Chain A
Amino acid sequence: DAGITQSPRYKITETGRQVTLMCHQTWSHSYMFWYRQDLGHGLRLIYYSAAADITDKGEVPDGYVVSRSKTENFPLTLESATRSQTSVYFCASSESGRFQETQYFGPGTRLLVL
């Protein structure tokens, strides 16, 4: 039972390149989330999705694009990577997205933008 997986786990790219981070969950959770983790900031929400084809911005959405064509997948794309997007990216999911529900996290993707 894989739960929630992310790929790649590590990525090095150059400024200006497009990068897509993948997230896959096997729980059939409705809600999925993307966070970035930076020193001194904790985790900040980038985008979230309530269901297939329904997405919404979080706290720090600029420079990112998401899509959700299937319930189990929630890719995050950096259309033109910048150095400030060097970070650790976490995908998370929760069953119905209600405030009282626990969010379960994937293992993270470490992204370095040169």
Chain B
Amino acid sequence: DQQVKQNSPSLSVQEGRISILNCDYTNSMFDYFLWYKKYPAEGPTFLISISSIKDKNEDGRFTVFLNKSAKHLSLHIVPSQPGDSAVYFCAAKAAGNKLTFGGGTRVLVKP
């Protein structure tokens, strides 16, 4: 039972263009959503988050959008840079701080 899904396993984008990563969830009890970024041989690092009471949160080049009715969130990276090449995980939480992760999207930003 995959409660958080990232349907695109990989994404390739040209430097300077927009990267859009998508995530769908099924559990209506999720109240907080996060994106983590992971480089090889490193642990995931927190990128940006959004509470279920908001529909948008922005931090520099990163913006997360939440559509509660569709149970969908997306991460926009503008402009994409080669250093953004990594695996991105969408995560969600209900009560407490146990996180449920999606399967990840590997992003490759081409110079």
A and B: bona fide binding partners: no
- Interfacial residues, chain A to chain B (CB-CB below 8 A): none
